[in-house]
């Protein structure tokens, strides 16, 4: 990963007040104007619509380095096209701006903060906007959906209940997100695995409830917890509330309420299922190992993808390792200053202590409910080491089945070779076989007849 990209990535997580943006400018106009200024090497113009931190990062030298990299890939740069909305992460909105050249195109990912200022810049593979026919097909694929609220009054989370055709009552699956601030579709650079699951399962007779994660839609309620914050506040309580909400609905079968956890949600699925008395659970790319060390492992994998680790990248890895060491020291001795750990890992010490006090595979093995574990062979975030832990814990346990898809990644999308962060920038749907296997499991459990027990 090149140094400018690392610098831009750091800038995206900082909110600093202000440069002045014309009040009449729309977010799309701001993103387009910024990209045009960068392409024109107008550093002052680009910095004029940035946060203070981002403006400091967008030096003329950094812009020249970025444009040199882009030109090496797409030839002489012709210009920047119109911006279009891509997705939202916490308070940040991300826009794609196509940059065309003599030999092809790339997309700038321009990140805007709440004030409409540019807070980050990324470089993505070019993706054409959807055609009218594609948008019409998407609209036609949408199932019957009802808006609901999940969680306590005052900080309830907006959600969507997707229902099959017919009167019901239907079996239902609660979809629990991975780490980070996720919306209800688990939108990641145009990929929306939870929406794909919800729409696909509705066609096969299974309802789903998906909702915006608390760290996405109600951040203030987590900030109020301070150093006492745990994953129970962030994830578990809302998932348990979602199960209770569904059992009270006449269109839902109260005896067939399942929980599906993805990534971190998969690690937490046994705890959620136990507390909510769920009727079954699906663990999709479920993490099992300590997250801080896994963060180091993932970072080392990413910086090594191009075969060369720069000094800046090596320093970043070293900083992260030091933060993990600081966390472990603070867990052993509460007197240790854990500032470095909290800053780098984005959670208080107690968050990780609570998380690591629970062995997810052992928790799954102790539950007497149908359990399906799904793993992608191309996944670099939750790897075969995690899948092996689920296999060892659930071996011989009645009602448990595990499925490995050699060609799927962390988002359960098809492909070849190990995946990468850049691979996520090209949106692809969740593999239909995953939907089919989950639907068969919910309807009939782990039996060779329904194809789930593999």
Choose among 131, 168, 160: nearest CA to 143: 160
Query: CB of 255 within 8 A of CB of 285?
Result: no
Catalytic residue status for 419:
no
Choose among 45, 46, 106: nearest CA to 74: 106
Catalytic option among 279, 410, 423, 437: 410
Query: CB of 108 within 8 A of CB of 99?
Result: yes
Q: Which domains does the chain carry?
A: 3-125 (3.10.450.590), 133-291+352-450 (3.40.50.1820)
Question: How buried is 410 (Cβ within 10 angstroms: 0-12 exposed, 13-18 middle, 19+ buried)?
Answer: buried
Catalytic residue status for 263:
yes
Q: What are phi and psi of 121, to 5 degrees?
A: -145, 130
Catalytic option among 113, 196, 279, 379: 379
Q: Give the burial string for 25-58 (b: 16+ CB within 10 Å, else e).
A: eeebbbbbbbbbbbbeebbeebbbbbbebbbebb
pLDDT at 24: 44
Choose among 218, 224, 69, 58: nearest CA to 152: 218
pLDDT at 286: 98
Instruction: Tell me how far apart the alpha carbons of residues 140 and 87 are, in angstroms, rounded to a whole number.
Output: 22
Catalytic option among 185, 212, 238, 263: 263
Choose among 192, 200, 207, 194: nearest CA to 145: 207
pLDDT block averages, 10 residues each, the chain of length 454: 34 30 70 94 94 92 89 89 83 89 89 91 83 77 92 93 95 96 89 96 97 91 93 97 98 98 98 98 98 96 89 92 97 95 93 96 97 97 97 95 97 92 88 96 77 40
Residue 419 neighbours by CB under 8 Å, 6+ apart: 378, 379, 380, 409, 410
Instruction: Tell me how far apart the alpha carbons of residues 100 and 81 are, in angstroms, rounded to a whole number.
Output: 8
Catalytic residue status for 410:
yes
The DSSP string of 237-260 is HHHHHHHHHHHT-TTEEEEEEEEE
């Amino acid at each position: 990963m090149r140094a400018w990209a690392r610098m831009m990535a750091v800038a995206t997580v900082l909110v600093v007040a202000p440069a002045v943006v014309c009040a009449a400018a729309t977010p799309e106009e701001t993103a387009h104007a910024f990209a045009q200024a960068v392409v024109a090497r107008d550093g002052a113009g680009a910095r004029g619509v940035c946060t203070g931190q981002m403006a400091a990062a967008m030096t003329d030298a950094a812009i020249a380095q970025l444009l040199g990299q882009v030109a090496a890939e797409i030839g002489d740069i012709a210009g920047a096209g119109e911006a279009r909305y891509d997705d939202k992460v916490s308070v940040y909105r991300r826009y794609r701006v196509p940059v065309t050249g003599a030999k092809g195109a790339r997309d700038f990912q321009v990140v805007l903060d709440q004030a409409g200022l540019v807070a980050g810049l990324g470089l993505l593979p070019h993706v054409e906007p959807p055609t009218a026919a594609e948008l019409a097909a998407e609209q036609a694929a949408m199932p019957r959906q009802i808006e609901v609220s999940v969680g306590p009054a005052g900080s309830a989370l907006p959600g969507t209940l997707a229902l099959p055709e017919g009167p019901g009552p239907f079996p239902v699956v609660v979809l629990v997100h991975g780490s980070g601030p996720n919306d209800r579709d688990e939108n990641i650079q145009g990929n929306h695995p939870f929406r794909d699951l919800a729409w696909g399962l509705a066609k096969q007779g299974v309802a789903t409830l998906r909702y915006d994660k608390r760290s996405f839609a109600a951040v203030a309620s987590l900030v109020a917890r301070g150093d006492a914050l745990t994953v129970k506040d962030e994830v578990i309580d809302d998932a348990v509330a979602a199960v209770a909400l569904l059992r009270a609905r006449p269109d839902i079968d109260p005896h067939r309420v399942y929980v599906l956890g993805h990534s971190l949600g998969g690690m937490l699925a046994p705890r959620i299922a136990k507390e909510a008395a769920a009727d079954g659970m699906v663990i999709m790319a479920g993490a099992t190992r300590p997250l801080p060390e896994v963060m180091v492992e993932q970072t080392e994998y990413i910086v090594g993808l191009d075969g060369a680790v720069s000094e800046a990248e090596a320093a970043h890895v070293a900083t992260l390792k030091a933060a993990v060491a600081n966390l472990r020291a603070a867990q052993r001795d509460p007197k240790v200053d854990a500032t470095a750990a909290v800053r780098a890992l984005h959670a208080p010490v107690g968050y990780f202590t609570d998380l690591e006090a629970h062995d997810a595979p052992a928790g799954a093995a102790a539950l007497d409910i149908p359990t399906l574990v799904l793993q992608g062979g191309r996944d670099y975030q939750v790897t075969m080491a995690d899948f092996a832990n689920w296999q060892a814990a659930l071996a011989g346990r009645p009602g448990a089945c595990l499925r490995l898809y050699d060609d799927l990644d962390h988002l359960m999308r098809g492909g070849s070779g190990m995946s990468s962060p850049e691979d996520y920038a090209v949106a692809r749907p969740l593999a239909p076989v995953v939907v089919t296997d989950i639907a068969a499991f919910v309807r009939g459990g782990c039996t060779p007849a329904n194809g789930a027990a593999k």
